[in-house]
Amino acid sequence: MTDRLAHRGPDGRGTFFRDGIALGHRRLGVRKEQQPLPNENSRLWIVFDGEIYNAESLYRDLLAHGHYFQTENPHENPAEILLHLFEEDGPDMLHKLNGQFALAIWDEKKRSLFLARDRIGKKPLFYRHENDRMLFASELKSLLTVPGIPHEIDPVALNDFVTYGYVPHPSSIFKGFAKLPPGHFAIWNDGVGNDFVCLEPMSWMTDAPNVPLAPEITGLRSLAPGAVTEFISRLSVESNKD
């Protein structure tokens, strides 16, 4: 599966295998962190793609709460920040994130998989939920390499594509595969019944039709200046290094 994503990270590859779980990651040379990345006791494992613009402020807050980091530069290893933030807040950590991201965190003790995607949906995240397993990847073609996976076109999705020029969330062009919508998270619990809680919107994103759109837009706009400022600030720091 990771070989089909080599173009997303041609400079390195990491894998994690444990009973009933396998994670893989492709790395760009500009990234120093090795993924999948564990926390200190190896209970949590993360694979992450994206940028966290407020990484520096999150880093300082976590340090104040007694967390230990392997790196002193928060922008060099945002995945480590996300792990510690998940230790503190669980899924509620998403409310503190300012950036573009797709991530997966495996909790070895709970046998639980947490998937999340940023507000705008800049980073893609596809998944397939079956009775006894959960498959996910940044691109659909990676999932299609799994042996025995059906490759059946969804006629409804095909009609949407012909009509709109794209396939709306959460559908994909293939039956049985879905896209995690922007601003949503999903939780898969391994074990009896393989319980799957999906498409839970974060508080600043909602798919409820009776909720006025204006407050949601206002909330999103209020976050935009901070995100842009954090991004420009980081670019300035990086350019000064050169």
Average pLDDT across the chain, whole number: 79
Q: How confident is the model at residue 180 (pLDDT cuts 50, 70, 90)?
A: very high
Which residue intervals of the chain are DSSP H helices?
A: 55-64, 78-89, 140-143, 155-164, 213-241
* Burial annotation 202-239 (CB, 10 A radius, 16+ → b, else e): beebeeeeeeeeeeeeeeeeeeeeebeebbeeeeeeee
Q: Both ends of the chain: CA-CA distance in Å?
A: 36
Tell me, yes or no, if the pTM score tops 0.85: no
Q: Is the pLDDT at 142 greater than 60, yes or no?
A: yes
Give the Cα separation of 148 and 128 in Å (integer): 13
Helix 55-64 with 78-89: angle, nearest 10 deg:
50
Tokens of 141: 């073609």
Q: List, for residues 72-86, the tens digit of each pLDDT value.
A: 787 778 999 999 999
Task: Please name each of the domains of the chain with its CATH number.
Answer: 2-241 (3.60.20.10)
pLDDT digits (tens, 9 = 90+) for 37-87: 998 888 999 999 888 999 999 999 999 998 888 877 877 789 999 999 999
80-119 residue pLDDT tens = 999 999 999 999 999 899 999 999 999 999 999 999 999 8
Tokens of 25: 């990651």
